[in-house]
Amino acid sequence: VVFSCAKCRTIIGDTFAYVASIPERNLFALSEVPNSVVCGKTRKISSERGEDGCVFYDLTCAECDSLIGRRYVTTIEDMDVIRNSYALDIQRVMTYELGK
């Protein structure tokens, strides 16, 4: 499966780099992404309910500058599986299954 930006359809990854998913948070994580994904330089601290204190960098599409996910540096316990991975927002990504 290939993942692309929902806004401009630029390819941002594939299942060869799949790490894990957290459906209740609408996230799935990849271990690697191509240069079409830009990791922000500003470290942020989440204040979202259930993610209080998680530290992350925004991930954006290099082509259209849309926010597509986060790279978490620190996480709460139930998000440990995606720490230091590229956590993409399911709602901001399109999928395409090759061979269909």
Q: Which CATH class is domain 2-96?
A: mainly beta
pTM value?
0.91
Count of C-beta atoms within a 10 Å radius of residue 34: 12
Summarised one tens digit per residue, pLDDT across range 8-57 is 999 999 999 999 999 999 999 999 999 999 999 999 999 887 788 899 99
